[in-house]
Amino acid sequence: MAVLPEYYLLLSAAVFCIGLFGILTRRNALFFLMSVELMLNAGNINLVAFSLYYSNLTGQVFALFTMALAAAEVAIGIGIILVLYRNFGDIDVTEAVTMRW
């Protein structure tokens, strides 16, 4: 038990920021999905880290649930991307701008 909680938090923050950067800069929808996964898992890291720190298993169980949810979300995300491709012939998110004022 040598690793301090701060390092976990730093790691989680770093992963989250990478995910956020991906969402803000990428145009490809697939990269979007991946970035979202990164951000979710940054949250998971936090859950697990605190669970370990407080010697309480609840956080880890939550992390499992979050992964299951992430899988479901990816399934839906891919569905959306397929529809996107069918309608616009591309999966560039900056192209699909018909839903606006």
Partner 1 sequence: MAGIFDYTPAIALLPLASFLIALFLGPRMPKKGALAGILATAGSLILSVATLVTLAGPAEPYHQQLYTFVTGAGDAVSLSFGILIDPLSALMLVIVSLIAFLVHVFSLGYMNDEGEIGLPRYYAGLGLFTFSMLSFVFADNLLMAFMFFELVGLCSFLLIGFWFREEGPPSGAKKAFLVTRFGDYFFLIGVVAIFATFGTTAFAGDHSFIHMAEQAVLGDGGSEITTFFGLGPQAWFTVLGLLVLGGVLGKSAQFPLHTWLPDAMEGPTPVSALIHAATMVAAGVYLVARMYGFYALSPTALAVIALIGGFTALFAATMGVVKQELKQVLAYSTISQYGYMMLALGGGGYVAAVFHLTTHAVFKALLFLGAGSVIIAMHHNENMWDMGGLKDRMRVTYLTFLSGSLALAGIVPFAGFWSKDEVLFETLIHGLGEAGGTSQPLLLLGFAMGLLAVFFTGFYTFRMVFLTFHGDPRTDTARDPEPVRWNVKFPLAVLGVGAAVVGFVNMGLLKDVLGDSILYLHTWLDGGVEGMNAHHYADVLHEAAGYSAASLSPFVSGAVSLGLAVLGVLVAWRLYGGADPDPHMERLGSARTLLMNNYYQDEFQVWLAQGVTVPIANAANTFDQVVVDGVVNGVSTVSLFAGQRVRRIQSGVVTNYAMLLTIAFVILLAFFALIGGWF
| Min dist. Cβ of residue 19 to partner 1 (A) | 11
Burial bucket for residue 35 (CB in 10 Å: 0-12, 13-18, 19+)? buried
* 25 vs 55 by CB, closer to partner 1: 25
* 2 vs 24 by CB, closer to partner 1: 24
* 21 vs 65 by CB, closer to partner 1: 21
Which residues lie near partner 1 (CB under 8 A)?
Answer: 20, 23-25, 27, 32, 93-94, 96-101
Cα 86 to Cα 24, 26, 90, distances in angstroms: 24, 20, 8
Measured CA to CA, the distance from residue 68 to residue 74 in angstroms comes to 10
Q: Which of 38, 8, 5 is nearest to 23 (CA)?
A: 38
| Min dist. Cβ of residue 25 to partner 1 (A) | 8
| Min dist. Cβ of residue 49 to partner 1 (A) | 20
| Min dist. Cβ of residue 22 to partner 1 (A) | 10
What single-letter DSSP state applies at residue 93? Answer: T
